[in-house]
Amino acid sequence: MGRRYVVTGGGGFVGKALAAALIRSGHEVISISRKAYPELKALGVTSLQGDIGSNVDGWWQSLRGCHGVFHTAANVEMWGRYAGFYRTNVTGTRNVIEACRRAGVPNLVFTSSPSVIHDGSDLKGIDESYPYPRHYDAFYPETKAQAEREVLAADSPGALRTVALRPHLIWGPGDTHLVPTIVARAQAGRLRRIGDGSNVVDVTYIDDCVNAHLCAMRTLETAPDRAGGKPYFISQGDPVNMWGWIDDVLRRQGVPRVTSSLPTCLAKAIALVMEGVARTLLLFGIEIQPLLTRFLVSEMSTSHFFSIENARRDLGYSPSRSVAQALDDTFSRAA
């Protein structure tokens, strides 16, 4: 018999794929998003419009009778005002926690990010014991880290059980962010390799990202003490050379590979100037997206791949395919 679940941010890449998977499994799904999404209704999802960043009064009762909440909604932009990131990522998460408590929802799976522990250095094969940094170069990882800490702190045996997942660089069929951004920048001649191009990273195929969420919810429902209050890295467990992967994506899209590059130190200097200009313009009410930011430069020039052994052991998560197989599947489905 199906269960009832809520997905916040159901119109996003992860939220939509997760809602579809739950529907296919025979569950009832309610999506809470700022906008209406006809495609969710077509799937059989009950789509509610609500702003999780405001307050819980207008929507918390829709959580009554739910077996669990998947909190995927987030501000994932690379640049913007701190207040915007804080409102969605921190206040919104606090409101979701409060709504779960009011409605008596027993389980909460939070979509976090490996960027919460990004400190600008190479992160090679680390596990979840790696500490949060003292300083962040961008509002996105800073506010996601605060939200993750509050989700994990909210875990309470006999009441609300919580877990945080850290999928890295999510992509695949239906991607509206990562691959489209890479392709658009390359087509516009605005994509440059940062550093020597040797950095190795994890990526996460959307089907496996969704499966990790389902595994996490199942674990909270059946063995909550095994995972409650813990974060987990999620990926294909198949690290790739970042720029080799990008070149492969571009080739499959009929776009020339990246040939120009910038030394990391120069890219950081340019990013610092661009951020300064953008901050100054914000004072006059003008919002622009810097082409480079310090956080983006660091992400593009350092190695960051993670151990998923804890997710395998505690959640029963296992990637369904290699990165090469996922590439073949993605672009064959898009053809």
The catalytic site residues sit at 140
* Backbone dihedral region for residue 80 (phi beyond 0: left; psi -120 to 50: alpha; all else: beta): left
How far apart (Å, rounded) are the C-alpha atoms in residues 2 and 21?
Answer: 12
* CA dihedral sign of residues 165, 170, 172, 174: positive
How far apart (Å, rounded) are the C-alpha atoms in residues 100 and 52?
Answer: 12
Side chain identity at 299, as an amino acid letter?
Answer: E
In terms of Cα–Cα distance, which of 241, 74, 232 is closest to 141?
74
* C-beta separation of 72 from 12 below 8 A: yes
Q: Which residues contact 99 (CB under 8 A, 6 or more apart)?
A: 56, 59, 60, 63, 69, 105
3-state secondary structure of 204: strand
In DSSP terms, which residues pair with 107 in a beta bridge?
Answer: 161
Q: How far is CA 26 from CA 212, 231, 277, in A?
A: 18, 28, 51
Side chain identity at 203, as an amino acid letter?
Answer: V
DSSP for residue 192: -
How far apart (Å, rounded) are the C-alpha atoms in residues 243 and 221?
Answer: 40
* C-beta separation of 325 from 146 below 8 A: no
Q: How do beta strands 123-126 and 304-306 pair?
A: parallel
DSSP for residue 57: T
3-state secondary structure of 79: coil
